[in-house]
Structure 1
Amino acid sequence: MSAKRLNLIQVFRGLAAVLVVFAHTDLIYNQNVNQDFLFKMFLFGGSGVDFFFVLSGFIMFYIHYKDIGHPDKLGTFFSKRFTRIYPLYWLILTSKILASFLFSYEPNTNARGIGEFIKAFLLFPQDRTILSSSFLGVSWTLSFEMFFYLMFGVLICLKPKFSFPIIVGWLSGVFLHFLGVIQFPQDNLLIQFLFSDYNLEFVLGSLAAYVVLNKKVSNGIPLLYGGLFLYTLSVINSWYTIIQLSSVVLFGIPCTLIVIGSASLELRKNINVPVFLVFLGNASYSVYLVHGFFMNQMTKILSKLPFPLFENLVVSNIVGFIISIIAIMCGCVIYSYIEKPLLTYFKPKAVTT
């Protein structure tokens, strides 16, 4: 029997994407018109990535926990994951590269070597400066996604007596690095990637799914409210920098509590969720991939108009908000007319997984 579809988890995916969009609006405003967006109110929007990672860990374990230790499930698992990530990513990446070659959208792309192009298409980790200046800036997070899929594949492919020591050994290195007990060379990008703090957020999501599936939570409301409270404190901290902590602590842990609380509630009773929020969650990957391009182009075009749109602070912020909403809507259109048909073509069952 398939796991119950959790609409709140889909909603969270959409909200995480929106947070990233607003954070990038500020970044693009600074780059293109030398201004802040909404007084950097959405400086915390990068926490949408932390939320994405926790949600990914939760979804993987929630859907595929029964596949652990069953090598015959490995092909189906990777087929679904490959279909979910690569087709749309390749299409968007190729489009951006062609735009760079033909219209000098990103002039630095012409200077990249074949190895960097291969890494970009395979989502092999490389310098984020290279990705943002020549390929897709957000693709660094997809590299972590693919690595998590590979590690989960180890759990599926091998019997627990073999896979668990591998996973425990790796996670021990990640955790000790997180605590500062082990220091890896800063200039070794691959080692830093393999033992990055971000990997812990996938683990937190998986642990959340384990707790939910084992019905260890009788009432999810305190956890949900507790997670929202801690998340709010972390947002305030991002504005005033009261304490310096890893985003795993500041946002990963609150997001984990939010996921456990909401999933536990929804497993016990039906929760009416607005259809458009579920749709936004379904479209979150498309929104995530393409929003930067649309916002970048819109701000550049508007900044060249004969009347000063960005000189008045109020007008500038209203324009930024409208640009963000349009970018989100463009992502939704791409989901409906490109991503969804692509997924249907390659693997019908993977459309909304």
Structure 2
Amino acid sequence: MKKLTFLQAFRGIAALMVVILHSRINYPTNESSLISNWLFNANGSGVDLFFVISGFIMVYTTRNTDGTFLYTTKFAVKRFARIVPVYLVVSIIFYIVMLITYGYINADYKFGWNDVVKSLMFIPLDLNNGNAPFFGSPVLHVGWSLNYELYFYLIICISLLFKKFRWVVFSSWIAFSLLFLPYIFGNDVTLIGFQRYNFSSYLNIITSPLIWEFVAGVVIGWLYFSPLQIHNPLVARSIAWISAAFAFWWIVSGVHSGVGVTHWGFPMVIMVFCFVIASKTYEFTVPKWLIWLGDISFSLYLVHPIVTDTASLLLWDTPARVAIQDPSFLPLMVALSLAIASLSHHYLEKGLSNKVRDVILKKIEFFSSKNKKHKDKETDNVK
């Protein structure tokens, strides 16, 4: 992964963008601050960047799969342990903090423990009537994107069982769910991520055009392992940085605002593709602080609402309202979010998640070894 450390930087930047976005929403800057308004409007595109990278990483990490049930099970466990324990703990903490905060300001909190349980099962709270692509955000509102991540991982896991035909199976399912299903039910097929079809239930997730961003990442992964290459390092580096400048212009200018592969996702796909292909020729140097930011990006993405939401509720109806609307309040929110994220990364990701992963994998190895010995013994008896 040495040549692909820039992907960690992208993850870190994407998470930071979302933190800035929610600071912008919770603490609207003064109207006179044109520069801050200009810069903050498109930070939601960090989620699009996450999705494209996830698609690529799934191709990269499964390149040596043997297609066995054991490999697929271990892969699923690693994905599960990477996300679920941290999400579970942070969601419960967020819910308790919100209950206390709403009680302090004498307001009613709209969520109950039933909503928490449903959220932790990665089921959107309003699948039938909610606006796409959220369909009723979970209690920890940033978790809406994880509903798509887990669904995508499920498709990958099932595809892995088909060994050398895994990408044929994957492509067939994508064609069926994103093209055929919407079409046969009388919908005009679209690539716009925030559009929804006339479905109800979990079909709204399965058929969501937002899935195309993961697919784009998968295609980039295929191209990475293809003969495609830019042989001149100078040209490779130049194309990569031009793509980054193009992405910055696209999302900041508002030329096509909104989630999806035709909007914010488009420049993210171009940028990730250019950097990935350029990395085959040129090794990008990534500052250590950006790699660190990438390492804590998952925790940063999950925990920052504890900071931003709580502060906005407590301070909004106080004399501090004007002060927290000033852009100078943003660095404080970011610093607090980074501090809590670093603790979450250490104790929840490296601690709890890794322990859950290791315990489950050891159990799998034990039963796999036991089963193998049993089969070998049966074979010897037959002989």
TM-score of the pair, normalised by structure 2: 0.76
| Aligned-partner residue type, residue 223 of structure 2 | V
Match of 1:143 among 144, 147, 158: 147
In the alignment, what sits opposite 1:16?
14
* Structure 1 residue 87, shift from structure 2 partner: 0.6
In the alignment, what sits opposite 2:205?
193
Q: Does 1:298 align with 2:308?
A: no
Using a 3 Å threshold, how does the CA distance of structure 1 residues 254 and 348 change in structure 2: closer, same or farther? Answer: farther
Using a 3 Å threshold, how does the CA distance of structure 1 residues 165 and 339 change in structure 2: closer, same or farther? Answer: closer
Match of 1:152 among 156, 164, 167: 156
The alignment partner of 1:44 has SS state of coil
Using a 3 Å threshold, how does the CA distance of structure 1 residues 215 and 142 change in structure 2: closer, same or farther? Answer: same
Q: Does 1:342 align with 2:352?
A: yes
In 2, Cα distance between equivalents of 1:36 and 1:70 = 60
In the alignment, what sits opposite 1:311?
322
Asked if structure 2 preserves the Cα contact closer than 8 Å seen for 1:280 and 1:332, the reply is no
Q: How does 1:61-100 map to 2 (within 5 A)?
A: 61-67=59-65, 69-100=67-98
Structure 2 alignment gaps of length 5 or more: 127-133, 361-383
Match of 2:214 among 191, 198, 202: 202
Asked if structure 2 preserves the Cα contact closer than 8 Å seen for 1:287 and 1:331, the reply is yes
Partner deviation per Cα, 1:313-351 (whole Å, 9 max, x = no partner): 9x721013322332233212321233211233223699x
* Structure 1 residue 160, shift from structure 2 partner: 4.9
In 1, Cα distance between equivalents of 2:20 and 2:219 = 29
* Structure 1 residue 122, shift from structure 2 partner: 1.4
Match of 1:232 among 238, 242, 248: 248
Partner deviation per Cα, 1:296-320 (whole Å, 9 max, x = no partner): 2223344466xx444369x721013
Aligned length: 335
Q: Does 1:109 align with 2:111?
A: yes
Using a 3 Å threshold, how does the CA distance of structure 1 residues 249 and 233 change in structure 2: closer, same or farther? Answer: farther
In the alignment, what sits opposite 1:276?
289
| Aligned-partner residue type, residue 15 of structure 1 | I
In 2, Cα distance between equivalents of 1:272 and 1:166 = 34
Asked if structure 2 preserves the Cα contact closer than 8 Å seen for 1:26 and 1:40, the reply is no
Tell me which moved more, 74-83 or 216-225.
Answer: 216-225
Asked if structure 1 preserves the Cα contact closer than 8 Å seen for 2:124 and 2:137, the reply is no
Q: Does 1:174 align with 2:178?
A: yes
Asked if structure 2 preserves the Cα contact closer than 8 Å seen for 1:226 and 1:257, the reply is no
Tell me which moved more, 291-300 or 57-66.
Answer: 291-300
In 2, Cα distance between equivalents of 1:189 and 1:27 = 29
Partner deviation per Cα, 1:277-313 (whole Å, 9 max, x = no partner): 10110100000001011112223344466xx444369
* Structure 1 residue 195, shift from structure 2 partner: 1.2
**The structure with more radius of gyration:** 2
Using a 3 Å threshold, how does the CA distance of structure 1 residues 181 and 82 change in structure 2: closer, same or farther? Answer: closer
* Structure 1 residue 11, shift from structure 2 partner: 0.6
Structure 1 alignment gaps of length 5 or more: none
Asked if structure 1 preserves the Cα contact closer than 8 Å seen for 2:67 and 2:164, the reply is yes
Match of 1:213 among 225, 235, 240: 225
Identity over the aligned pairs, expressed in percent?
23
RMSD: 3.3
TM-score of the pair, normalised by structure 1: 0.82
Tell me which moved more, 197-206 or 179-188.
Answer: 179-188
